[in-house]
Amino acid sequence: MGEALKPVPVPLGQVPEVAALLTRLGLGALRQDAVSAFFGRNDTWAGVTDTGMPVFVKRTLGEAGQVRRMVGRTRAMGVALDGHPVIHTPRFLGGDDDMGLLAFTLLEEARSGVDLAEDGDFTWDLAHAAGTQVGTLHDLPAPEAVAADDSAPPMPPRDRLAALTLEEYTAAGGAELETWAILHDDPVVTRAIDDLCERERRGPRVLAHGDLRLDQLLHHDGVLYLTDWEEARLADAARDVGAFAGEWLYRGVLGMAGPDDGLNDREVIAAGARRFEELRPYVEAFWTGYLEARPAARDDHELPVRAVAFAGWHLIDRIMVTAHQRGRLSALQRAVAGVGRTALLRPADLTATLGLGEGR
Ligand SMILES: Nc1ncnc2c1ncn2[C@@H]1O[C@H](COP(=O)(O)OP(=O)(O)OP(=O)(O)O)[C@@H](O)[C@H]1O
Ligand SMILES: [Mg+2]
């Protein structure tokens, strides 16, 4: 990967609260010339402090109450998972609830799941390890702050499935509006999404990560870490399983053609399905690890079905995120949304296709 493009961290002088947090935690100080940042939605600062502590600080974004809950959930998960024998996560060092700051041990030179997948270095063993950790997580008792948090997960956006507010409409870009239009013109799919959320609300819930994407996995010194507990909640186990499967399905559909290759939807889907055949072992390995860690999940016969539906939602979610950066949706992105729709509408037919079949 090219080294040329490195994001520039927000100067520490402009965010005195970062130094204040590190001082309060007794971690020393970060020197501006020794700090770097990561690409992502959030402002981040990474470096080794003058007392020799490798730290990673991020500032979460959102409305004040939301930010406070994110910090609260992260803190609770950090405490619950500190030193856990199976679930690995960068050590939570402390946070600032009002400023939305979170500090963790920096995993120096770590590679994310996305980097590994892009370089062909994501192994089946890593997928299995991810499944073991997530299965173990789903059997843990939820820490108080997570159990007490009954705020709705931000995704799927139940309150925007029928229409956007005028404010949301005017703030959205072209491709985002196209994505919303795909949903708003399709009451069958929005009903399927809403049903999935309603079943989650009424059904059995576990301690879930809530935002399990490949870029939330970090590989460091031979150990796989799960990061970003901001959306941890009591939720349907299928959310996490489906997100992991959805990540690979997304890569399958996207990876087979260059954007706007001039293929029609049917060709894109057929080729995407073929390419996904190569990726399915990652989901199978995850599912094997998951069931080994959490054998009781076998009794929840509908779990793989709901997971396929969540994987379908995940594809639409990914399109929304990329739409944010574009003027128009490409034909390929529309095809991805089409595959997502199929998974949402016919999940029971696709469990084995997605690698979540029985007998593992
Ligand atoms: N403790 C850590 N040590 C090293 N790198 C980390 C650590 N935590 C996160 N990272 C890396 O920092 C980058 C930014 O992380 P961050 O979670 O802020 O962004 P993001 O994942 O894009 O945001 P979000 O998950 O909130 O959408 C990611 O690439 C992640 O791999
Ligand atoms: Mg992240």
Q: The domain that contains 208 carries what CATH number? A: 3.90.1200.10
- Name the domain boundary from 105, 134, 169: 105
Q: Are residues 271 and 254 in the same domain?
A: yes
User: Given 84, 105, 126, which residue is the final one in a domain?
Assistant: 105
Q: Are residues 46 and 156 in the same domain?
A: no
Residues 49 and 96 in one domain: yes
Q: Is there an atom of ligand 1 within 6 Å of 112 CB?
A: yes
Q: Phi first, then psi: what are they for 220, rounded to 5°? A: -145, 125
By most ligand atoms within 8 Å of CB, the mutation choice from 36, 38, 57, 107 for ligand 1 is: 38
The C-alpha angle 67, 68, 74, rounded to 5 degrees, equals: 90
Phi, psi of 75 (to 5 degrees): -60, -45
For residue 80, give the CATH number of its domain. 3.30.200.20
Pocket lining: 288 vs ligand 1, CB cutoff 6 Å: no
Q: Does 136 share its domain with 221?
A: yes
Clarify whether residues 44 and 155 are in a common domain: no
* Ligand 1 atom with the shortest distance to the CA of 108: 4
Q: How many domains does the chain have?
A: 2
> pLDDT tens digits, residue range 226-258?
999 999 999 999 999 999 999 999 999 887 555
Residue nearest to atom 17 of ligand 1 (CA): 228
Domain boundary among 79, 105, 131: 105
Q: Tens digits of per-residue pLDDT, 45-67? A: 999 999 999 999 999 999 999 99
| 219 and 101 co-located in one domain | no
Q: Are residues 136 and 238 in the same domain?
A: yes
- Whole-angstrom CA distances from 177 to 19, 151, 171, 267, 326 are 40, 26, 10, 25, 11
**181 and 327: one domain?**
yes
Q: Is the CB of residue 210 below 6 angstroms from any atom belonging to ligand 1? A: no
- Ligand 1 closest atom vs CA 227: 8
Catalogue the E-assigned strands of 60-142: 92-96, 101-105, 111-112
> Would you say residue 360 lies in a domain?
no
Tell me the per-residue pLDDT of 163-173, one tens digit each, with 9 for 90 and over: 999 999 999 99
Please indicate, yes or no, if residue 354 is contained in any of the structural domains.
no
pLDDT above 80 (res 270): no
Ligand 1 touching residue 38 (CB < 6 A): yes
List the domain range (segments joined by +) for residue 272: 111-349
Average pLDDT over residues 193-208: 96
Q: Is 174 in the pocket of ligand 1 (CB under 6 A)?
A: no
Whether the CB of 74 sits within 6 Å of ligand 1 = no
Confirm whether pTM is higher than 0.85: yes
Same domain, 289 and 248: yes
Q: Is the pLDDT assigned to residue 204 strictly greater than 90?
A: yes
Distance between Cα 299 and ligand 2 center (Å):
32
